[in-house]
Structure 1
Amino acid sequence: MRDRPAGRIGSLDGLRGVAAAVVLIHHSLLTIPSFANGNLHLPVPESRSWLVYTPLHVFWAGGEAVFVFFVLSGFVLTLPALRRTQDWIAYFPARLVRLYVPVVASVLVALVLFLVVPRTGDPGESAWVARHADTLSLHGLVGDLTLLSPTRMNSPLWSLTWEVAFSLLLPLFVSIAAVTRRHWWITALVAALLSTAGHPLRLQWLTYLSMFLVGSAVAAGWERIPQVRRLVGWVLLVVSVLGLTCGWWYPREAPGAVFGSTVILLSAAVLVVLAGKWLPAERVLLGSVPRTLGRISFSLYLVHEPIAVSIAELVPDAHPWIAPLLTTPLALVAAVFFARFVELPAHRLAKQVSRRLSGDPSAARGRRAAGVAEATGTSGGHRTPTPTDP
C-alpha cells in the first residue's frame, strides 16, 4: 500500500479510534474504587492486580493513549506541511475554529451534567470520581472555555490546551522537521528525552510539546521508512505494547525506570509507523469498527468523561460495576450525536474560513470548479478528507 501524497492515511484514523476507545475504557473503569486505587498506585485486590500491573493494562492505558494522540497530531499536522506549501494565514484561524467550537460545546454539555447530577464526593465512591466534586465558579468556567486552565468538570480538556499550543507553534515544528529530515530518528529520540526531562524540571511545556515533536520527526522520515515486513511487525507490536505499559509492570525502583516516559513515547511512535507501514495493522485499522471509532474519536474524547462521572454518582456504591457497563454505550451514542451536530458543522465552518482566507490562486480555481460541479450535480456524494483533520 502506498500513501497518497495529498490524501489521508486511513489506518491512522483507525489508530485514533482505538486510542479514543482505550481512554473511554480507562475512565469507565476508574469509576470502580479498586481500579481507581490502582491508577493512583494504591493497594489493589489481588484478584484484579493482573489487569493493573501487567502489560494487559494496555486495554485501559488512558494516559498512554493520550500520548499516542499527541504523537499522532504531531505527525498528521506536520506531514502535509512538509509535502506542500502551507497557507499559514488560512491555517491558524481555521485550526482554532476546528478545535474551539467542539470544545465550547463540550463544556456546555459538561456544565449541564454538572448541574443536573451534583458531584457529592461521597466517601463510598471511587477516589477518581470524588476528585470531581469541585465547586462551580466563573473563573473555572472561563478556564474551561478558553483552555487556559481547564478544571475537573471535563478534565480531558487539559490535553486540548497543549493541542492548541502545538497548533499555534506548528511552523516551528515543521521547520525543525524539515531541517532534520535526514536524521529524523535522532530528532525523535531527542524529543522523547526532552519530554522525559520535563517531568523532574516541572516544565509542562517541555514535557508535552516534545511529544508532538516526536510525531513531527516521524512525519519528516515517513518517505524513508520502508514497509514493515510481516514477522518484524509482530515483534515490533509486542515490543511497543510492552514499552507503552512499562510504567505499570516495570518496577519503579529498577535501573532505567527514569527513562520510562522515553520508552512510552518511542513505543507510541512505533505504533504510528506500524499503523501506516505494516499491512496486518493497516487491514485491522481500516476495518469498520476502528474507522467508525476514528470518525467520532474527537467527539468521544470530549464528551465521555462527564457522562462517566454522572453515571457513577447515580449508581449505588454497592454496585460500582454498573457504572462502566452504562457509561460505554451511552458515551458512544452521545459521541455520534455530538459528531453529527457539533463536530461536523465545526469542520465545515473551519473549511469555509480557510477557503475565504486562502491566497492560493490554485485553491481559488479549485473552489470555482467545485462550485460548478456542485451546481451540475457531478461532485459526488462524499468529501475527500485531508491529513490535517484531527
Structure 2
Amino acid sequence: MRDRPAGRIGSLDGLRGVAAAVVLVHHSLLTIPSFANGNLHLPVPDSRSWLVYSPVHAFWAGGEAVFVFFVLSGFVLTLPALRRTQDWIAYFPSRFIRLYLPVVASVFLALLLFLAVPRTGAPGQSAWVARHAESLSLGGFLGDLTLLAPTRMNSPLWSLTWEVAFSLLLPLFVSIAALTRRHWWITAIVAALLSTAGHPLRMQWLTYLSMFLVGSAIAAGWERIPAVKRPLGWVLFLASLLGITCAWWIPSDMPGAVFESTVITAAAATLVVLAGKWLPAERVLLGAVPRTLGRMSFSLYLVHEPIAVSVAQLVPTAHPWLTPIITIPVALVVAVFFARFVELPAHRLAKTVSKRVSGTDGGARRGRRVAESVH
C-alpha cells in the first residue's frame, strides 16, 4: 500500500503502538528478579538466559523500542514540514501543549500512586524495583513536571526530555534534511555514526538527537525510497530484529562491537522504512490491534511504569510473575482512559491554538518566510 503524497502513513501509527507494547512488556518483566538482573548484565539462571541473551530479547527490548520512537519522531515531524509550508510560529505552542499537558497529568498520576503505595526496598524485590525506592522531593517533582531532570517516580519521562529538545530544534533538522535531500542516505549514515560517537564522548545530546536526525534524513528521501519487494523485505525484517538486539547476543569483546549503537540505530531506521514501504508490514501494522495501540501509545508510555512499580510493591515477592500478569491489562485500561480524557483533549487544544495563531495574514506570511528560508 503506497502512501499518498500528503497523507498520513497509518502503518507508522501501528509501529508506534507495537513499540509502546514492547516498552510495557519490558518494564513489566523487569519486576521479576531474573529479568532485572539480565537487563543490568548480572547473572541470570541458565533456564532463562535465552530470553535475555538472544534475538528473542526483541519482544521486551524496551530501550531499543525508545530508539524506534526517536527515529519515528524525526520522520513524522520532518516529513510534513518538507511537503508543505510550515508556520513555525504556530507550531511551537501547539507542539508543547501536545507534549506537556499529558506529561503533567502523568506526573500527578505517578504522584498519587507514589503516595498510595510506598516504594520500599523489600528483600526479594527485583533490582529494578528496588532502584525506585527513593524519597519524594519538591525539586524532583518539578524536574518531572518540566522534564528538565526526570526522576524514577516515572522514569520513562527521560525520553521526553529529548523529544522536547528535538521539537525545539525541529527547524534546524528540517533545514538539514532539505539541504541534503539528494544525498539523504549519507545524512542518515553520518547521523547513525554520530549517535555512536556520543557514548564514548559521554554526550547524551549527540547520542539521542542524532537518532532523530536519522528519521529526518529518511523523511527527506522518502519519495526516492522504492517499495520493498516481498523477499527482500523478509531479509531486511529479520536483519532488523537481529540488529536491534545485537547488544544482547554479540560478545562485547568481539571486533566491531563498538559499532553496536550504529547497528541498533540502523535497525530502528529500517523498521520505520519497512513499516511504510513493505506491503506485509503495512498490512499487519494497519490491523486493529496495532492501530489501537498506536492511538494510545503516548498515553500507555506515560502511565505504565508507575503502575508496574506499584503492583510490584503489592504482590508477594515469592510470586513475581503475578506482577506482569496484573500490570499489563491494568496499564492498558488506564491508558485507554488517559488517552480519552487527557491526551485527546490536549490534541484538540493544540489544534485550536495552532489555528488561532496561524489564522492571521501576518502569521501566514511569517510561516511562508520561515519555510522559504528552510527550503
* Equivalent position of 1:73 in the other structure: 73
* Equivalent position of 1:115 in the other structure: 115
Q: For the residues of structure 2 that align with 1:296 and 1:41, how far apart are their CA atoms?
A: 32
| Residue 82 (str. 1) matches residue 85 (str. 2) | no
Give the secondary-structure state (helix, strand or coil) at the position aligned to 1:252.
coil
Matches within 5 A, 1:1-390: 1-359=1-359
Give the secondary-structure state (helix, strand or coil) at the position aligned to 1:48.
helix
Matched letter for residue 327 of structure 2: T
Give the secondary-structure state (helix, strand or coil) at the position aligned to 2:46.
coil
* Equivalent position of 2:368 in the other structure: none
Q: For the residues of structure 1 that align with 2:61 and 2:259, how far apart are their CA atoms?
A: 18
CA offsets 1:123-171 (integer angstroms, 9 cap, x no match) = 3100000000111000000000000000000000000000000001000
Q: For the residues of structure 1 that align with 2:108 and 2:302, how far apart are their CA atoms?
A: 11
Q: For the residues of structure 1 that align with 2:346 and 2:57, how far apart are their CA atoms?
A: 35
CA offsets 1:357-388 (integer angstroms, 9 cap, x no match) = 00466x99xxxxxxxxxxxxxxxxxxxxxxxx
1:3 positional shift: 1.5
Q: For the residues of structure 1 that align with 2:18 and 2:243, how far apart are their CA atoms?
A: 17
Matched letter for residue 78 of structure 1: T
Q: For the residues of structure 2 that align with 1:182 and 1:144, how far apart are their CA atoms?
A: 40
- Is the 1:196–1:262 contact (alpha carbons within 8 Å) kept by the matching residues of 2? yes
- Is the 1:87–1:360 contact (alpha carbons within 8 Å) kept by the matching residues of 2? no
* Equivalent position of 1:376 in the other structure: none
* Equivalent position of 2:367 in the other structure: none
Q: Give every structure 1 segment of 4 or more consecutive aligned residues whose post-TM-superposition deviation is greater than 6 Å.
A: none
Q: For the residues of structure 2 that align with 1:228 and 1:6, how far apart are their CA atoms?
A: 20
Q: State the percentage of identical aligned residues.
A: 83
CA offsets 1:92-118 (integer angstroms, 9 cap, x no match) = 000000000000000000000000000
- Is the 1:148–1:161 contact (alpha carbons within 8 Å) kept by the matching residues of 2? yes
Give the secondary-structure state (helix, strand or coil) at the position aligned to 1:132.
coil
Matched letter for residue 238 of structure 1: L
1:268 positional shift: 0.5
Structure 1 residues not aligned, in runs of 5+ = 365-390
Q: For the residues of structure 2 that align with 1:134 and 1:358, how far apart are their CA atoms?
A: 45
Matched letter for residue 194 of structure 1: L
Structure 2 residues not aligned, in runs of 5+ = 365-375
Q: For the residues of structure 2 that align with 1:7 and 1:88, how far apart are their CA atoms?
A: 20
* Equivalent position of 1:377 in the other structure: none
- Is the 1:87–1:359 contact (alpha carbons within 8 Å) kept by the matching residues of 2? no
1:5 positional shift: 2.5
Give the secondary-structure state (helix, strand or coil) at the position aligned to 1:121.
coil
1:2 positional shift: 2.4
Kindly tell me the number of residue pairs found equivalent between the two proteins.
364
1:332 positional shift: 0.2
Deviates most, 5-14 or 47-56: 5-14
CA offsets 1:297-320 (integer angstroms, 9 cap, x no match) = 000000000000000000001000
- Is the 1:27–1:62 contact (alpha carbons within 8 Å) kept by the matching residues of 2? yes
Q: For the residues of structure 2 that align with 1:193 and 1:126, how far apart are their CA atoms?
A: 35
RMSD: 1.2
* Equivalent position of 1:373 in the other structure: none
